Structure 1
């Protein structure tokens, strides 16, 4: 465990320490520990730390099998978790869709503006005019009280069964490309087919995220498994780095969300 930090980025140290504390809690109490919604990068780190531990197991559930953000239940070997253990509710947003168009970004911004931390709610699902989101059950009363409008549009929240979650129908297209370096600006330029200067401008203006966190350094080094997003250009996953070409360029396989 002493050398666990060397396998991850320095800015991930605090989260690694948190996972170690959660693991210790389960071992000491011999009882399950439910944590908030984690993004895929955090779940990757948690899996790496817990590994194939015999004394501590983990379960992952975000409301349905397609969720990107999931709550994690750490539990001792005797325990058999059920979906109810994850304490997740599904809310549908009712609004005058004939007259108003609401976006994923507006819903996310409003949830954050009423004081909710991002880890307290899961995926936001949008399909045509329908909008739903998963939330930690312990916040149901609070959100029903505080979340009454998005922008100037009045809304109502309806709690519905998890089984009624809409399918977003995301389609990922796999591409292969080459980059001169693994710097963020170079990778963005190649994956999104934009100029390197345009990539640098997006980064400098805080419009680029890696693993759901804003990165403003063009020289940031990308790694396999990173999820990148650039405002106006969608998201991509860096699936694998497949060595270098004769001209010393990196071969990259990526999935781009269309």
Structure 2
């Protein structure tokens, strides 16, 4: 892989860049497809950039439904014709006693992590307002079904359902245009949620902010295209487009926002 590729990505992303290089070499040497775990939007962008620029291989993504945020990628030679079944993704619906309360995205996510499932092994957690579903790697589906019997105080049952029965998610991103003086994490949070820079800085330093599902305590962390920022108590931001700068050298952004 061309060593110059590293300059296009953050230093903390270099191990993932190396991983993609390994996948490319594997597909090229074995002339057979490689399936990844679930990637977040930033990882998918990095994979797409590298495969396009550093090989003649093809790739495609699948997350279970059209607007899926987390998706598995298949990298393959140009002769190959992938099918949906090859993404090895299972859709589970959660059955729980709805008359006694409600589940939440956070409770489901936390429970999956607490039973030892790494974040890259499962995809989106979706709801239509009452019913809940989530996607997992096929290879761990039986383990998940056996281990996930309670979420919070609820006794639950998982049912594997066909992808044609996927819910229409209730929550949807609001698309907004904004300008920011810097791509710093605290600056973007301050601008989008209309709070002071100091309060945004405090939120970051107190561990209430995650970038791409990893806690970030550096207010000066520089955001990049397709990063997703989760702010406890406020919601989420996705950097969808970076459209140059204004005359005053502010960054023009298209963002997606989910406000709590």
- CA distance in structure 2 between the partners assigned to 1:183 and 1:140 by the alignment: 39
Matched residue, 2:199 = 198
Any idea what the Cα deviations from partners look like across 1:112-135, whole Å, max 9, x if unmatched? Answer: 111101111110012222110011
Report the number of matched residues. Answer: 257
The superposition leaves residues 25-48 of structure 1 with CA deviations (integer Å, 9 ceiling, x where unpaired) of 111111111111111110000001
Q: How many Å apart are 1:182 and its aligned residue? A: 2.5
Alignment of 1:97-112 (within 5 A): 97-112=98-113
Contact 1:204 1:216 in 2 (8 A): yes
Q: Which moved further from structure 2: 201-210 or 76-85?
A: 201-210
Q: Which residue is equivalent to 1:166?
A: 167
| 2:98 partner SS | coil
- What do residues 88-127 of structure 1 show as CA deviations (whole Å, max 9, x unaligned)? 1100000101102111100011111111011111100122
For the pair 1:64 / 2:35, whether they are aligned, the reply is no
- Displacement after TM superposition at 1:161 (Å): 0.3
The answer to whether residue 172 in structure 2 is matched with residue 177 in structure 1 is no
Q: Which residue of 1 aligns with 2:242?
A: 240
Judged with a 3 Å threshold, the aligned counterparts in structure 2 of structure 1 residues 28 and 61 are, in CA distance, closer, same or farther, namely same
User: TM-score scaled by structure 1?
Assistant: 0.93
Q: Contact 1:242–1:253 (CA<8 Å) still a contact in 2?
A: no
1:127 corresponds to: 128
- How many angstroms apart in 2 are the aligned matches of 1:41 and 1:223? 8
SS of structure 2 residue aligned to 1:72: strand
Shift of 1:210: 2.0
Task: Give the stretch that moved more between structures: 180-189 or 128-137.
Answer: 180-189
Q: Tell me which stretches of 4 or more aligned residues in structure 1 moved more than 6 Å.
A: none
Deviates more, 1:189-198 or 1:228-237: 228-237
Structure 1 residues 201-210 or 221-230, which shifts more? 221-230
Give the conservation status (yes or no) of the 8 Å contact 2:174–2:257. yes
Distance verdict in 2 for CA 1:54–1:13, change over 3 Å:
closer
Match of 1:8 in 2: 9
Task: Kindly report the root-mean-square deviation, in angstroms, between the aligned alpha carbons of the 2 structures.
Answer: 1.7
CA distance in 2, matches of 1:189, 1:93: 36
Change (3 A) 1:211 1:79: same
Residues 1-258 of structure 1 aligned to structure 2 (within 5 Å): 1-51=2-52, 55-238=56-239, 239-246=241-248, 248-258=249-259
